[in-house]
Amino acid sequence: MQRFIEQHTDEHFDVIVIGGGITGASVAYEAATRGLKVALVEKKDFSSATSSASSKLIHGGLRYLVNGEIAMVRESLRERRVLGNIAPNFVYPTPMMMAHAQKPLKNNKWVVKLGMVAYDALSYDKNFTWDSSKKIPTHRTISATEVLAREPNLRLPGLTGASVFYDCVSIFPERLTLAFLKSAIAYGAKVANYTEVQGFLFDASRKVCGVKVKDLEDGREHSLAAALVVNCGGPWADLVLGLASSGGKALRTLRRSEGIHLITDKKLISGKHIIGAVTPAGTHFFVIPWRGQTLIGTTDKPYTGDPDEYRVTKQSVVELLDAVNSTFGEGTLAYSDIRYTYGGLRPLVEDQTKETYTASRRYEIRDNAQDGVDGLITVEGGKFTTSRNLAEHCLKIVAKKLARPLGKTITDKQHLTVCAIPNLEAFLETARRDNPDFSPATIEYLSRTYGSEYSKVLELARADAGLAEAVDADGELLAQVVYAVRYEMARTLSDIVFRRTGIGTLGHPGEKVLQAVAALAALELGWDGARLTRELAITNERLSVPAS
């Protein structure tokens, strides 16, 4: 991967995509596979916002059945299967236990039973999998006694039983997004992070014909010409749209909701299931075994501030802790037990919903010609699971705007570039057998998170013994730092430890490890002492549990 902006001349694109989260990455990939000349620009790093703030789930959205959003649940269940097929090393089934109580009514065992029957019916094609090991069984209902035998720390008031069913997890959403970007690049797309859109280009008829961008790495400004621009700015989509209006006035206003997650090493669950619980107030959260720790989330609260100023607050953490303590263990999970917190903003399309928790996760693809801004398409809302299908729908509008036949999608029929793995278990077994000079933990981790590229990381480690040092319990190597810079467009320490590797995503890895990673990054990127100090300060702040 190379930042195209550094060598950009006067190339004209068919489509420019604004935003490097999963939505933008999916649209770029879909457009590139249809033969279009595509450029994607992201003002920060890929997956640095909403796409990195998920619960690691690829799911159908069981709770959306309550709102009657049957079509969206069906779409999500179909796309869950598609992602499991095209990205087998990233997405795979896992058992989930949804605990039931007498109240609220929507969590009543028999009410949920009806929902689970519908959920199974809507996922009728769930076992049309390319890898037979990924087949998913139907749900079953278990008694309160069996629930407590399996999960003795679960103490939901009025527990009446649980539904046990399967959904999918995404072991590293940021790298899954990167896999979409790499797949787009394989089809000729050009991408660049740290490239901020500062305005739009217009032709004589005031039609959008490109964007003005600034390369935040060197400060240079560029004009990128295109027949169409697709705004996939996520929580920033309305602000991007405002750049195209006269006087910068917003043409549409998004609603945003905050979702946060906690990671603790305190043992709350057996690790054999993801546990879902509904609070007496009717909201829900999950307790998820993840990389030997416990991941807890998510929340759903309105956010009305500047999305650039968003951060996780102590108040939000305490609210989630209170919900967890009312349901799990002895109710003694303390602030001091938290290793790491992360959060993000979700863009919502409704403007009439009273609470963000009940807001839909549907998406809207809007031709902004109806707002007086021709040449621009804006994507609003959506969720990680349905992003590929969203992109497919977006290309229907692109084809109409370009007045060109673009054929049918192929993105649901082929593996992502780094995920061409017909049988995951056989792939992992071969990787372990062929690389006995590395620990099984390292091979397992690298094989899953790098897919077919894992051997390139090992090559770096074999060429320099210092890079073969494992830095965490997962067996991650310092070689991944070098790989991130040389081949995956990492430009900051945060890019490396949060989005290219998992070194920082369980909490602070320790000063020794962080210093070693930063020193390698500085060497690869040519940082001076001041830049190195600044990068460490930014990353340490991000790793800190909020104090206010």
pLDDT digits (tens, 9 = 90+) for 472-490: 999 999 999 999 999 999 9
Mean pLDDT over each residue of the chain, to the nearest integer? 93
Average pLDDT over residues 365-371: 94
The strand pairing partners of 343, in sequence order, are: 260
pLDDT digits (tens, 9 = 90+) for 439-460: 999 999 999 999 999 999 999 9
Segments of 279-319 assigned E as strands: 284-290, 293-297, 301-303
pLDDT digits (tens, 9 = 90+) for 373-418: 999 999 998 899 999 999 999 999 999 999 999 999 999 999 999 9
Average pLDDT over residues 259-281: 90
Contact 381, 360 (CB under 8 A): yes
Looking at residue 61, its pLDDT comes to 85
pTM of the model: 0.96
pLDDT digits (tens, 9 = 90+) for 66-107: 778 899 999 999 999 999 999 999 999 999 999 998 887 778
Asked whether the predicted pLDDT for residue 356 surpasses 50, the reply is no
CA distances from 486 to 1, 91, 199, 489, 497 (A): 8, 26, 30, 7, 15
CA angle 250, 256, 262 (to 5 degrees): 150
Contact 123, 136 (CB under 8 A): yes
Confidence category of residue 11, pLDDT binned at 50, 70, 90:
very high
Asked whether the predicted pLDDT for residue 354 surpasses 50, the reply is no
Is residue 131 helix, strand or coil? coil
Give the span between the Cα atoms of 215 and 315, in whole angstroms: 36
Q: Return the C-alpha torsion angle 422, 427, 430, 432, nearest 10.
A: 180
Confidence category of residue 261, pLDDT binned at 50, 70, 90:
very high
pLDDT digits (tens, 9 = 90+) for 46-66: 999 999 999 999 999 888 887
Domains plus CATH for the chain? 4-50+174-253+361-402 (3.50.50.60), 93-168+255-358 (3.30.9.10), 424-543 (1.10.8.870)
Report cis status (omega within 30 of 0) of the bond before 137: no
- Backbone angles phi and psi of 81, in degrees to 5: -65, -40
Percentage of the chain with pLDDT > 90? 84
Confidence category of residue 350, pLDDT binned at 50, 70, 90:
low
Is residue 354 helix, strand or coil? coil
Asked whether the predicted pLDDT for residue 249 surpasses 90, the reply is no
pLDDT digits (tens, 9 = 90+) for 302-321: 999 999 999 999 999 999 99
| 239 secondary structure, DSSP code | H
Give the span between the Cα atoms of 176 and 334, in whole angstroms: 32
pLDDT digits (tens, 9 = 90+) for 161-186: 999 999 999 999 999 999 999 999 99
Confidence category of residue 247, pLDDT binned at 50, 70, 90:
low
